[in-house]
Amino acid sequence: MTRNVPVSIWRRAAVRVDRCLTELRRGRAVRITDPAGGIVAAAVETLGEELLQRLGTPGTRLALAVTEERARALGIAADARGIVLPLGERVGLEAIARFVGVIESASAPAGLAAAAAGAAALAVAAALELARRARLLPAVVFARDARADDADELLAVEAADVEAVAQALEASIVRVSDARVPLAGHEDCRLVLFREAPGDLEHVAVVVGRPDASAPVLVRVHSACLTGDLLGSLRCDCGDQLRGAVDRLAVAGGVLLYLAHEGRGIGLANKLRAYGLQDGGLDTLDADRHLGFRADERDFRAAAAMLRSLGIARIRLLTNNPDKIETLREGGIDVVERVPLVVPPNVHNERYLQTKRERAGHLTGEQDVPAGG
């Protein structure tokens, strides 16, 4: 059992979810069922005119679903499962794309914003979650009574499958391979690759030196940041934190968990969209919400599963983020100490760092969280 989901059920659900993620990324529709019936849905970001026309054949009731975050950004009341807006025959693909943020627009098309809206049913909420897991903008066009010619041939998944996979993330973390990889200045290093399924995320554990697992091991849980880690972007502090963490780990040994959580889990394409919104005045959290995402889409349960696979149960955690501490403790890892990791700001990331402290609850070097428990 994993989070009350039997492993056998989770494995079958994971296969169906994985196939549906691929279909949505490729611009194809999927069928999602729930106790009330089912829908045929496609992600707006990859939706083409041909598929839109097939979904909207005469006799169908075509609708658009967006998350609570996107609805509220557009001034529309919504609950946690998102909101549904009926699509009239004259609403085209460009208007839909502007409404959900695929094409950035100063205001939403009036015809959609003024439409009667309703709460998303289970199947619709599952479709939004699938789009989010595919790292697409979380917005879908769907029909409950679709008569597309190939509707019966579509890949199908139950809304309950999507929920089961979300609950049992730990079961999806598989240790795949490892090798000795000397790093510049820290030659005694080993990389261990973990794969997350469904989906295509790959996480890496960098074991620096020879940490003693019988004592609390110094650990850094670091979310991948192409712009900061590789390109040296000044918009964030990620690159400086990564290099500072490796230097700290090299002193007495430790582990860097490098997680494929680009843009706090929204992916590189959406992170760049969010950067555009930040240039227009939004802070980093509001920019993500404007696109329909939660303030933080990362799931640090993967880190707990990786540590268990490495035989590490007690750690000293290099972090300023209390969410990492809480999730690791919930995953059975004993975080005995928080070790602050603070880097100097620059003129380009001062506002970003201030937002993390004041709105996301990140800690400074002087603050701490309760030990143990």
Work out the number of other CB atoms within 10 angstroms of the CB of residue 107: 10
Judge whether 185 and 250 are in contact, CB under 8 Å.
Answer: yes
From the candidates 18, 200, 296, 323, give the one annotated as an active-site residue: 296
Helix (H) or strand (E) holding 351: helix 350-358
Residue where the block lists tokens 């696109």: 291
* Cα 193 to Cα 50: distance, rounded to the nearest angstrom: 40
Q: Tokens for 224?
A: 């991948």
Furthest-apart CA atoms within the chain: distance in Å: 68
> Is 298 designated active site?
yes
Among 72, 83, 94, smallest CA distance to 142 is for 83
Distance set, CA 39 to CA 123, 143, 151, 243 (Å): 7, 6, 10, 47
> Is 150 designated active site?
no
Q: Tokens for 235?
A: 């918009």
Q: Tokens for 12?
A: 């079958």
Beta bridge partners of 62: 143
First-to-last alpha carbon distance for the chain, in angstroms, is 24
Judge whether 338 and 319 are in contact, CB under 8 Å.
Answer: yes
* Cα 146 to Cα 252: distance, rounded to the nearest angstrom: 61
From the candidates 70, 235, 298, 301, give the one annotated as an active-site residue: 298
Among 254, 245, 260, smallest CA distance to 320 is for 245
Amino acid identity, position 351: R
* Cα 110 to Cα 104: distance, rounded to the nearest angstrom: 15
Phi and psi for 3 in degrees, rounded to 5?
50, 45
Distance set, CA 258 to CA 101, 229, 347 (Å): 29, 11, 27
Write out the catalytic residue numbers: 296, 298
